[in-house]
Amino acid sequence: MNPLHWLTQFLQVLAALAAAPLFVGWINQCRAWLQNKSAPSMLQPYRGLRKLFYKDAVLATHASQLFRIAPYIVFGAMVSAAAVIPSLGTRLPFSDAADAIALVGLFAVARVFISLAAMDVGTAFGTLGARREMLVGFLAEPALLMVIFVASLISASTALPAISEGLATRTLALYPSLAFTGVAFVLVLLAENARIPVDNPATHLELTMIHEAMLLEYSARHLALMEWAAALKLFNYACIGFALFLPWGAATGAAPNPVVVLASVPILAIKLASAGAVLALIETISAKLRVFRAPEFLATAFLLAVLGLLVHLLLGA
């Protein structure tokens, strides 16, 4: 394989690790601006991670080895997902090892381990959060798979890099099926990343929190890895959206130009800045749903994805 492909792969993983906390910081800053509040620094997530890595870990009395290794598995799954999502280029050495269905499987592995770790210590809040997390995942994964299937039917491939390259090199056209699935994907992104209206990452109210409830027993480096993995998950979902609905800007072709590869970095930064601002706007104008309304929210996403599939199958558009 072309050495430039390995360079693209390395830059992509490095960009994901470095930019994921910055992406979260940008969203928090945009939310503060929209709510007319004093905005925190975009570098605040980095400072939080640095502080946690320097602290000594405190473990629950009855924590097993599963509780200790779960942060590393979750973080590794998110890094592996970042390696197969075409954010900077479509010809990636690691992309041959996993298609879009396996990518959803990586997200499922992370969800299972974080839920098992939350139940491992036997606290009420951890078990509550794990049950809610599995409920959201059970409803969100079919909708995400349906979104990917629509794009795979258009591109005749289930590999996300091939889908992205196929859509980027096609003649510019409007696909109503992608419009429906695009809305469905945004709903899944909000639910899977514990964002408003399904969850609020800025609160610790025990009756409403989902993701934060599973992290209450973690501290120091374990909590840092979990927080970093959550930022990577949001970054990965944003890059999946770019690959499916805004594939332009990434390096394509069997022998990409090094200049094109380097130019894809600022293009990705512009996409992330725009996506972060839109996500902050959605969260600002939305109200937090009750927990039992989350299935209705995700059922709407699934129906929109199915509608996009039917539009493509019946109309070929």
Q: How far apart are CA 115 and CA 129, in angstroms?
A: 8
Per-residue pLDDT, 257: 67
Q: Give the Å distances, CA to CA, from 250 to 47, 148, 168, 194, 261.
A: 30, 19, 9, 28, 7
Q: How far apart are the first and last CA of the chain?
A: 35
Per-residue pLDDT, 207: 66
Radius of gyration of the chain (CA): 19
Q: Give the Å distances, CA to CA, from 134 to 67, 142, 214, 263.
A: 17, 13, 12, 39
Q: How far apart are CA 249 and CA 264, in angstroms?
A: 6
CB atoms within 10 A of CB 246: 17
CB atoms within 10 A of CB 173: 8
Closest by alpha carbon to 69, among 117, 101, 16? Answer: 117
Q: Give the Å distances, CA to CA, from 30 to 24, 27, 35, 249.
A: 10, 5, 9, 24
Per-residue pLDDT, 163: 86
Residues with Cβ within 8 Å of residue 111, at least 6 apart in sequence: 133, 134, 137
Give me the DSSP letters along 23-51: HHHHHHHHHHHHTT-PPPPTTHHHHHHHH
Contact in structure between 194 and 201 (CB atoms under 8 Å): yes
Residues with Cβ within 8 Å of residue 205, at least 6 apart in sequence: none
Chunked into runs of 10 residues, the chain (317 residues) has average pLDDT values of: 76 91 93 87 91 87 87 93 86 77 90 90 83 88 91 84 81 79 93 85 71 84 92 94 86 69 86 93 86 87 91 79
What pLDDT, in 10s, does the model give residues 91-132?
777 777 778 888 889 999 999 999 999 888 888 888 888 888
**pTM given for the model:** 0.92
